A and B are shown apart, each in its own frame.
Chain A
Amino acid sequence: MPTTFIQAINQALSEEMERDPLTFVMGEDVVLSAFGATKGLIDKFGPRRVRNTPIAEAGFVGAAVGAAMAGARPICEVEFASFFYCAMDQVCNQAAKLRYMSGGQARMPITFRCVYGAMGGAAAQHSETVYAQFLSVPGIKLVVPSNPSDMKGLLKSAIRDDNPVIVFEHGALGGHREEIPPGEYLTPLGQAAVKRAGEHATVVAIGAMVPRTLRVAEKLAKEGISVEVIDPRTLVPLDEAAILASVEKTNRAVVVDEGHWRGGAAADIAAIIGEKAFDFLDGPVRRVTTLDVPIPFSPPLEKAALANEAKIEAAIRAAVGR
């Protein structure tokens, strides 16, 4: 069935809520559902399990932590990813650490969902790609699906996982439609997908950058440049083996991400490749990212700031020397 990201999320939520009576959804406007992902859940599961929260991120994110510690399985929506900043203590000091600090006693089965990324004129406080901020906080799993089929399978795995997992949904992809497998299926966390096999360069692309990178790879294939595109699908855990195996084959690596250049997921993956596949590399690992500026509002500035297909193409050409 051709299915949008939003529909895939809705299916995953509905299936998992049916499966486990201790799951529940909460967040701002989840009853009416501004983006449509939680639409109709109220009719199926009622107000006990589908809860509109006050606009109080620190409060309800923290309540998700407490609910998880006491046996429930919250699915907590934080609208725009930048609003996580309002709840950083609850995520980073509490959810991420309490299992470890309690000597393994605390179970933390929380799924956070949020919309990230630039979607056209939403400006800096609604456009950021914020997963890197959590990458250096051990104890949180990070999921960045690039297509509706993975979205559904990864979200279902996230909900069943006993750890805090943040699922990042790109704001510009919501209505994007693709075939997804029928019925129930799970996509494991920590398993990359080879989206396209190739020989001359490995491009690790994250989230919304995957379809863009695939378009560039298609174009370059016509000139005989063969690009292998790897979608890690989850940043924590990271399928290092798949990335390294590809680089060992192609000897060239580019990492494409919508996050920033400094301190981002691209920097992290590039460092892993540099450290663990050094002997196989024919050149530096290149990063294509958003510039290190807050995302500007005006369209020409936003375009200049973001990673895009032209920049991806230029980096691949530089890597292969053609």
Chain B
Amino acid sequence: MDLGKDKMLEMYRMMTRIRLFEMRVRDLATANEIPGFVHVSIGEEASATGVCAALRPTDRITSTHRGHGHLIAKGGRLDRMMAEIFGKRTGYCKGKGGSMHIVDFSLGILGANGIVGGGIPIATGSALATVIAQRDEVTACFFGDGASNEGTFHESLNLAAVWKLPVIYVCENNGFGEFTPMQTVTSVTDIAVRAQAYGIPGVVIDGNDVLEVYRCASEAIARARAGEGPTLIECKTYRWEGHVVGEQAFLGKASYRSEAEVAEWKARCPLLRFEKFAAESGKISAAELKKIREETEAELEAAVKFARESPLPDPAEVTDDVFSG
């Protein structure tokens, strides 16, 4: 697949926005400017970006507790996301959701989710709605390796396979669920082989290669849109940061992975890899990439300012939105 230069630059911009946003959120949470639990996806930018770049604006996604990257990649605005994470009234959910629960229906973002595996049946149902309405949108479902041990994963894959639903399941396998190494609680090395049990295609890809993710997602999305049913894509990746910002307070001196392993994965940085590819391709200049980084930094600065200066919700709003109508 020959990607145009614009598409490639767009993907680089998305990855940069995710990286810088997440680094900033991590720092703000560390400085106690953000309430609650914060999970960042630094190192996992390519899977979110590659998949969402292959979707249409009218397509939908579901996400997870580690969802900022998915939401940004699907078009989420940094300022309203940041405001939500700060608990401000101008945030996407008026301060009711927070970091783990950002939603923007207008962009097809059905939501991050605090329940591991919670989004998988929702994505499946979103695809079902498409069939009911006889439309052609596709739903992409993001989840972790840990979530693939939940019953919801298995029940959903079977259901989507039987009904040939237009959904793609994207497992971001970062090797851990909280502090537990994946291989100690998972019966298979590759989550993708589980697709066989449900009679659907399953593929393992390098989740840090945004171009490979884009290519593979495009094929699966085309299949789904053509009514041929779901695909399971496993993106091998790694989270550079802890499970949750501030996890060392829980862990004390204990650790669950080696510094060498983290360093090894940092060397496989999705952004560096793209930059290298760009340099080798001769089509994209370093100056173009630098410009994107600078523009993103300005965008992020404005987002933080917006979040800081936005008002908190009025306590009287606490009873709003429990029911509609």
A residues bordering B, Cβ < 8 Å? 28-29, 31-32, 34-36, 52-59, 82-83, 85-86, 120-126, 291-294, 296-301, 303-305
Contact = CB atoms under 8 A, between A and B. Distances in A.
A53 B133 CA distance: 40
A224 to B, nearest CB: 32
Given A55-B150, A56-B149, A125-B115, A29 B95 contact: no
Contacts of B250: 34-36
B180 A31 contact: yes
B315 interface: yes
A296 B36 contact: no
B96 interface: yes
B149 A55 contact: yes
A56 B317 CA distance: 36
A54 B185 contact: yes
Contacts of B151: 56, 58-59, 86
A101 B280 CA distance: 71
Ranked nearest first, the 7 interchain pairs of A and B with the lowest CB-CB distance are A121-B35, A121-B36, A298-B95, A298-B87, A297-B98, A125-B114, A54-B149
B57 to A, nearest CB: 27
A53 B185 CA distance: 6
Given A291-B319, A301-B95, A301-B96, A55 B36 contact: no
B227 interface: no
A57 B35 CA distance: 27
B87 to A, nearest CB: 3
Interface string B106-133: 0000000111111000000000000000
A296 B114 contact: no
A292 B179 CA distance: 35
B322 A86 contact: no
Contacts, number: 129
Given A83-B115, A123-B97, A299 B35 contact: yes
Given A32-B251, A125-B114, A298 B312 contact: yes
A322 to B, nearest CB: 27
Given A32-B251, A56-B150, A296 B96 contact: yes
A56 B185 CA distance: 10
Contact of A123 (B114, B117, B180): B114
Contacts of A123: 36, 96-98, 100-101, 114
A29 B178 contact: yes
21 contacts: A28-B177, A32-B256, A34-B178, A54-B146, A54-B185, A55-B116, A57-B150, A58-B150, A59-B149, A82-B114, A85-B115, A120-B36, A121-B37, A123-B36, A123-B96, A125-B118, A291-B318, A298-B87, A301-B96, A301-B317, A304-B315
Given A56-B150, A121-B36, A297-B87, A32 B254 contact: yes
B74 interface: no
Interface in B156-212: 177-180, 184-186
Interface string B257-285: 00000000000000000000000000000
Interface string B292-325: 0000000000000000000011111111001000
B88 interface: yes
A52, A292, A294 — which one has the most chain B CB atoms within 10 A of its CB? A52
Nearest to A55: B146
Contacts of B36: 120-123, 297
A296 B177 contact: no
Nearest to A32: B179
A35 B247 CA distance: 10
Given A83-B115, A86-B150, A297 B96 contact: yes
B147 interface: yes
Contact of A296 (B37, B316, B318): B318
A296 B115 CA distance: 16
Contacts of A301: 87, 95-96, 313, 315, 317-318
A86 B93 CA distance: 25
B114 A293 contact: no
A297 B35 CA distance: 8
A7 B318 CA distance: 36
Given A86-B150, A122-B37, A123-B101, A299 B256 contact: no
Nearest to B91: A298
A32, A300, A301 — which one has the most chain B CB atoms within 10 A of its CB? A301
Nearest to B89: A298
A56 B114 CA distance: 15
A298 B149 contact: no
Given A54-B149, A123-B114, A294-B322, A300 B315 contact: yes
A147 B318 CA distance: 30
A57, A58, A121, A298 — which one has the most chain B CB atoms within 10 A of its CB? A298
A279 to B, nearest CB: 36
A28 B180 contact: yes
A125 B36 CA distance: 12
Contacts of A31: 180
B88, B98, B254 — which one has the most chain A CB atoms within 10 A of its CB? B98
